[in-house]
Amino acid sequence: MSSQDVLKNASTLASYNVLLQVMFRVLTFLLNAFTLRFVSKELIGVVNVRLTLLYSTLVFLSREAFRRACLSGVSGTNHSWRQVINLLWLTLPLGVLWAALLACVWLWLLEVPDPHTVPYYSPAVVLFALSGVQELLAEPLWVLAQAHMFVRLKVVAESLAMIAKCSVTVVLVVFAGEWGLYIFSAAHLVYTGFLVLCYAVYFIRFLDSKEAAKESFPLCRVRDLLPCRADGEPLVDWTLARLTWSFFKQSFLKQILTEGERYVMTFLNVLSFGDQGVYDIINNLGSMVARFIFLPIEESFYIFFAKVLERGRDVKSQKQEDVAIAAEVLECLLKLVLVIGLIITSFGYAYSHLALDIYGGSLLSSGAGPNLLRCYSCYVLLLAVNGVTECFVFAAMSQGEVDKYNLVMLALSVSFLFLSYMLTWWAGAVGFIMANCLNMGLRIVHSLFYIHHYFKSSQWKPLRGLLPSPLLLLALGVSAVVTALSEGMFCCDSGWLLRMVHISVGAACLLIVFVAVLLTETRLVHFVRTQLLPQYTKKHT
């Protein structure tokens, strides 16, 4: 497959993933707004912070290293899918082990919520751990789908699973509110069950079809999806297994960085369960754009960079046409996420209070909620840049470099936990975001140094993507000042008429910013028009 074909497929995957994440975020957004009217903020805190942390920790530590290693390993020609499948099935026993260990910690070492306020905590811990193990049953199928760019499969599977989860939650919240944590446990089991079912049904039908034979799919029968030894070769590819181990050590540290504030809240009790619920709702609201735009781009273009570039080799040792397209894509991606992040930061200050008041009423808009969301709008900018830079770095690093970076991640993890505790003690929930900003900034600096060194001996300078045009910066600065003045004059204790004036001012400023982008960022506009937007309507099988 040529570099252009890989780029086209990665763009398709990114576009579909963005649409998928938009749907997820909208459904979650509406679901949270609905459940806020029926359940206590303490119960929301336990579900969204503690139980979700249990689930995310289990699945991340069980599969993340396998995903990165296997998707990188199958990009070349010297690999056996039989060995890859065998390696991926190791995620299941590993998940069972993590489930048992983490369930013991969550049940016996952590503070147990008041059973009158948050009933059925212990069964919920077991059920959330079980849902994580259940999802791992689809891991070999997920990697197969990603490696062969089965975009629609992921969209359909996760869409059906999310719709089923939301439906179960709404029905049980309305008609069986006294079930407490059983409601969310049942909904999560339904979600992971639908994922496994959709992937299994798809591959059972696909492997028996003429399409699989036509495309020379590496597996021929359904039983090939199960672990078994092939004649004349080891059970697993040990080179890939060692790379998995390197990523596993890194994934443990990355999980601490990704979910650091939840670990601090869970293990150090710096916030009450109610405050945790409010913080998590605002955190989800603030990270909505990061999740449905930046994360899909990072995941999809990691596959692109991993397929185009040969891991561990310098620029001069690679195919120059591949390096050229990788540098051009990296520059455009950096410019894209930077522009989006700057827009969110510029408009976030003036519209945080209004957004929270509309979404959750005084429960969210009073107190520290608006300041928390304003700080998060600045953090989104760092999230945007870090996602793209690390996506390239992880695809280009050799195994030895990955091992060395583990030490960097260890230092960042320790510093993050320390900063989170100290800054939260000093500034409350805002301290979590401040600690995240400091650590994200350090990660970006490390990635920028790596990228600069990687392209130093070549003619390509992809880091120019971090230099927006002066006209765009001027438009963003003026918009930030104008919308801040508009908030003081028209929002947010006034009636809806004045609020609409404030919204109209923001819409006019945003239009000016878009015009500035169209006039000055022509390469970015061309990249979006040719590589991302057309993929929304093209069919891909």
- Average of per-residue pLDDT across 219-227: 81
Backbone φ and ψ of 78, nearest 5°: -95, 75
pLDDT score, position 541: 36
What pLDDT shows up at residue 20?
A: 62
Predicted confidence band of residue 24 (pLDDT cuts 50, 70, 90): low
How is residue 303 written in tokens? 């596959």
Residue 82, CA atoms < 13 Å, CB-side half-sphere: 12
pLDDT-based confidence at residue 3 (cuts at 50, 70, 90): low
The answer to whether residues 240 and 69 touch, using CB atoms and an 8 Å cutoff, is yes
Condensed to tens digits (0 to 9), the pLDDT of residues 124-176 reads 999 999 999 999 999 999 988 888 777 678 878 888 898 899 889 989 998 88
Please state, in angstroms and rounded to a whole number, the distance separating the CA atoms of residues 130 and 114. 23
Query: In terms of DSSP H, where are the helices of 137-208?
Result: 139-147, 151-175, 181-207
Is the pLDDT reported for residue 365 higher than 50?
yes
Cα–Cα distance list, 14 to 302, 325, 342, 535 (Å): 10, 17, 21, 9
Contact between 443 and 387 (Cβ < 8 Å): no
Q: Is the pLDDT of residue 210 over 70?
A: yes
- What is the model's pLDDT at position 1? 53
Q: Which residues contact 102 (CB under 8 A, 6 or more apart)?
A: 54, 57, 58, 129
**Residue of higher predicted confidence among 268 and 124:** 124
Token pair belonging to 271: 């916030």
Q: What is the pTM of this model?
A: 0.69
Q: Domain residues of the chain, as ranges?
A: 1-38+259-468+521-541, 40-258
| Cα–Cα separations (whole angstroms), residue 122 to 44, 131, 260, 266 | 16, 15, 23, 16
Q: What one-letter code names the amino acid at 384?
A: A
Residue 499's contacts (CB-CB under 8 Å, 6 or more residues apart) are 354, 490, 491, 492
Which tokens is 538 given?
Answer: 């093209």
* C-beta separation of 523 from 364 below 8 A: no
| CB of 257 closer than 8 Å to CB of 432 | no
29-64, pLDDT tens digit by residue? 777 777 777 887 788 889 989 999 999 999 999 998
